[in-house]
Chains A and B, each alone.
Chain A
């Protein structure tokens, strides 16, 4: 059971470099999300995709772009990394909104920007 798979698991970037975090889910879920979690903090939503072909900004979208490539894949791009983007990034997915609907998280990507 793969669930939600995200890569890479660890990455160190220099300020100004770009990179893309990849995420794929094999549960045929409609909605996908990118969250960031700073040390000792909660989860903040960066972007989400309610369904294939749509993307919307979350709470902290600045400095990021996303692409919902198809139903399975949702990538997060940092165009010009900044130290403030050092964080753990979680991709997640869910079927549809409503009772019984839970979010499944990937294992996280630890990103350090120096």
Chain B
């Protein structure tokens, strides 16, 4: 079945530093979604990318979808303590309307 891998698993940064998490799929994806989960919270949808090579920005967050539609990245510029949490990518699953989630990247920001 389809697998979605995320790296790194954990990342500690100093506040103000940049952060990037990478997502790789074993198969071509029709779209990819990103979610953020704050500590103790539930995953919340951030964005969806559909087109090959697509780049979308949300303030300090930049999302990219690879040309081959098998990888994606999330880059945060000048991290803040409010960015703390786990970031998940997810792609369409093998059947039904399910999503397959990556293992997540846990971001910790030192003030």
Contact = CB atoms under 8 A, between A and B. Distances in A.
B102 A42 contact: yes
B58 interface: no
B33 A102 contact: yes
Interface string B78-94: 00000000001010110
Given A45-B100, A105-B44, 8 more contacts: A42-B102, A42-B103, A45-B93, A48-B97, A50-B97, A90-B43, A102-B45, A108-B41
Interface in A77-114: 90, 94, 96-97, 99-108
A102 B33 CA distance: 8
Contact of B88 (A30, A42, A96, A106): A42
A100 B98 CA distance: 14
A107 B44 CA distance: 10
Contact of B97 (A35, A90, A97): A97
A99 B50 contact: yes
Given A105-B42, A105-B43, A30 B97 contact: yes
Interface of A: 30-31, 33, 35, 40-43, 45, 48, 50, 56, 58, 90, 94, 96-97, 99-108
A106 B42 CA distance: 7
B96 interface: yes
B99 A103 contact: yes
Given A97-B92, A101-B97, A105-B42, A42 B48 contact: no
B50 A56 contact: no
A2 to B, nearest CB: 14
Contacts of A97: 92, 96-97
30 contacts: A30-B97, A31-B96, A31-B98, A40-B106, A41-B104, A42-B6, A42-B88, A42-B103, A42-B104, A43-B43, A43-B101, A43-B104, A45-B98, A45-B100, A48-B96, A50-B96, A50-B98, A56-B95, A56-B96, A58-B98, A90-B42, A99-B50, A100-B48, A101-B97, A103-B35, A103-B43, A103-B90, A104-B45, A106-B42, A108-B42
